Structure 1
Amino acid sequence: MNAGRYIFSQIVDFLPKRKFERIMEHRTKNKVEDRTLGWQLSYWGQLLVLIFGQLLGCRSLRELYDITTAHRKKSFHLGFGKEAVDRNILSRCNTNRDWHVFEEFANHMIVLAQEARIDREF
């Protein structure tokens, strides 16, 4: 039941999280950067923050940080995690993490969208 849930969290329910986790584990299985640096923001949380910023039309990391700071009490219910999103951590995640994880997931989502539109060209 969706009563009392934020629209963003309802939209996120359509994303295949297990597929994303499999892609992430496959791409990062030989990398220890996330384990050694003690990231407070998971790959999934980073993806959700970036999607949230994209939907709101954020043009910079500072603007995204300001919006997530304004919603910090709701960050767990939006799916970002228990901690408020920190600009430094988000910047380091965007800089140091393997962007191929997000690219492969986006390609998977495109394939799903194309399969859903079999009657017309995508």
Structure 2
Amino acid sequence: MYKFKAVRNQGRYVFTQLVDFLPRKNFEWLVKKYEGNKYVKSFTCWNHLMVLLFGQLSYREGLRDLIVTITPFKSAFHHLGFGKNGTYFLFVIQTKLITQASNFS
């Protein structure tokens, strides 16, 4: 019979622990191949992927719902893997939503 060692929380968010299983080197290789970060100053493709994965894994129904869910975690963006400039993402998305809403009114 196999004995499994219990894994305890190491002071990290569950989302961050799940992300550790992603092949980041392969992702970075693809980003470099297709020049995904060519004109990026702060919010990289990896940060964008982390935010979108967070939304997917937390069953968000849309961007507004994602913003409402992520906003309380602003102080923990770096620890969640969103990068130090995760607030930039929120700003861009909110601006797009406001622009779209004004176009429909």
Give the CA deviation at 1:57: 0.8
Q: Is contact 1:62–1:87 with CA below 8 Å preserved after alignment?
A: no
Q: Check 1:91–1:24 CA distance in 2 against 1; reply closer, same or farther (3 A cut).
A: farther
SS in 1 for 2:34: helix
Q: Is contact 2:43–2:86 with CA below 8 Å preserved after alignment?
A: no
Give the CA deviation at 1:60: 1.2
Give the CA deviation at 1:25: 0.4
Q: Percent identity?
A: 36
Distance 1:73 1:87 in 2: 13
Aligned partner of 1:109 in structure 2 is none
- Give the counterpart letter for 1:19 in structure 2: N
Does residue 64 of the first structure (1) align with residue 70 of the second (2)?
no
Distance 1:88 1:5 in 2: 26
CA RMSD of aligned residues (A): 2.4
Aligned partner of 2:80 in structure 1 is 78
The size of the alignment, in residue pairs, is 87
TM-score for both structures, normalised by structure 2: 0.71
Q: Which has the larger radius of gyration?
A: 2
Q: Check 1:90–1:20 CA distance in 2 against 1; reply closer, same or farther (3 A cut).
A: farther
**Post-superposition CA distance 1:19-49 (Å, at most 9, x none):** 00000000117x8432xxx3x3110010010
Aligned partner of 2:39 in structure 1 is 33
Q: Is contact 1:45–1:81 with CA below 8 Å preserved after alignment?
A: yes
Distance 2:94 2:33 in 1: 23
